[in-house]
Structure 1
């Protein structure tokens, strides 16, 4: 994974004015575009597309000191007009390119990334791998913004709007693993961009041959392998820390990669006020091919 990410960064530097072929780079290193984008975002803290834009505007800023026409610079870095280039430039640097050319700044530089493997993982991760047949996730779904840290107000409002009797009804419908009431995130942006929309479902897992009430939303889950991470502590901080550690510690050290599918959180036990909880994080995975 570290090699693949390094090659992506090198490819970006060599082709700053061209469309980035993430899928091609991923294939060349035995992984998938989906996994590569998710790992990049988790490790770097920004989407791959945002890093590309920042690097383009960093290098372009250095070329503004000369007399070259603005349109020539814009085209060189993949923009069809000076207006589009100016919008991207201002979004990164906070000033228009004409101001940067006149005053020399202020500019916000994005250094080229370098990935290095460091020895961490002194705290063992409680993980198991399980194969599951196809099943359904059923419950109440809503479109919500993605948040990396802290409680999500949109999710809290969605759950609070459900009557207590509905939680009990859903729990009674659970008849397969993951057991109990579940927090499901589906249709997540591959770049894991904070603020992007995802489908959140408050519900349960139900066997494929079990009936589903007509008033409930359904997420179909194909058969596949899952990595299950158990975590305990302050909620949701401990869960979010474990989620981040899957990218920094677990995936780089294990022969698995993320595959398309929903991520699932099963709350096994919790305090009355939900200040602490024991959870299982279910992530859909597949084996990395052998080199």
Structure 2
């Protein structure tokens, strides 16, 4: 898998001055576009689109300083339709406009070319199971919130606090299958999963029954799920589990992620410092 990922990275380098299609990268990596975006973001720590943008503007920076082409020629060469659009993007990465950089020989910021390699860390193992579920519904309350990679998410905290106890009790009573009880669900995320991008957050339950009309509901098709468990500091343990699933488990197992809601069942300690958690990720088996 890592060898294929590095071939995809080489493809990016060869085509920085062209339109790069995620479908081509996924085909080289022998996976789906959806899973490639997810895996890259987890491994690289940034969205695929951001990495490509930074690499293009790193190469463009060398062209700007070389002074052999006009700034418009440099802009067009690197996929920008106008000198103004190129200048804005250039300034966002380098902190200085291309004209000023050329005049003054300013120091620029470089995004190094990435490659991936396997690093063995410790001797711990990940506990997981594979579950096949019939179609079900998520029922509860939903809110559109910004994505936060680490630490508490203020928007989610405020949303949950705004649900009264009576409504929470009614929702919890609808749970009739695993994962049992109140669950937290992320769905409809942006492909690049950038910090601050928005997602649908659900505070609800998994049920096979008919949802009440006054509650939000999301039908979920039958499928396969990889289920992981963890215990530790809250909320870091849950957030790190998601990272470890994509950086450690997927590269070592014959599965890939598929579109669908990601479900976590979290039980926080009385003092709010630790938690036991179960993470359900929709997956499909990779056929060799």
Shift of 1:102: 1.0
The answer for the alignment partner of 2:146 in structure 1 is 145
Q: Are 1:206 and 2:207 matched, yes or no?
A: yes
The answer for the alignment partner of 1:271 in structure 2 is 269
Distance 2:225 2:35 in 1: 15
Kindly report which structure 2 residues correspond to 1:19-98, keeping only aligned pairs within 5 A, or say none.
Answer: 19-65=19-65, 66-98=67-99
Shift of 1:213: 0.6
Distance 2:77 2:114 in 1: 22
User: Does the 8 Å CA contact 2:179/2:206 hold for their aligned counterparts?
Assistant: yes
The answer for the alignment partner of 2:181 in structure 1 is 180
Unpaired runs of 5+ in structure 1? none
User: What count of residue pairs does the alignment treat as equivalent?
Assistant: 287
Distance 1:28 1:54 in 2: 22
Distance 1:25 1:58 in 2: 21
Distance 2:19 2:70 in 1: 22
Shift of 1:121: 5.8
Distance 1:27 1:218 in 2: 35
User: Does the 8 Å CA contact 1:146/1:194 hold for their aligned counterparts?
Assistant: yes
Which string of whole-angstrom CA distances, capped at 9 and with x for unpartnered residues, describes residues 94-128 of structure 1? 11001110111221101111111222362111111
User: Does the 8 Å CA contact 2:129/2:227 hold for their aligned counterparts?
Assistant: yes
User: Does the 8 Å CA contact 1:37/1:47 hold for their aligned counterparts?
Assistant: yes
Q: Secondary structure at the match of 1:64?
A: helix
Flag as ranges the 4+ runs of structure 1 deviating above 6 A. Answer: none
Distance 1:276 1:30 in 2: 38
Kindly report which structure 2 residues correspond to 1:94-173, keeping only aligned pairs within 5 A, or say none.
Answer: 94-120=95-121, 122-173=123-174
The answer for the alignment partner of 2:8 in structure 1 is 8
* Comparing 10-19 and 50-59, the one that deviates more: 10-19
Distance 1:115 1:276 in 2: 32
The answer for the alignment partner of 2:193 in structure 1 is 192
Q: Provide the TM-score with structure 2 as the length reference.
A: 0.97
Which string of whole-angstrom CA distances, capped at 9 and with x for unpartnered residues, describes residues 204-231 of structure 1? 0011xx1111111111111111010101
RMSD of aligned residue pairs (Cα, Å): 1.2
Distance 1:24 1:106 in 2: 34
- Relative distance call for 1:115 and 1:246 in structure 2 (3 A) is same
- Relative distance call for 1:284 and 1:121 in structure 2 (3 A) is farther
Distance 1:238 1:276 in 2: 8
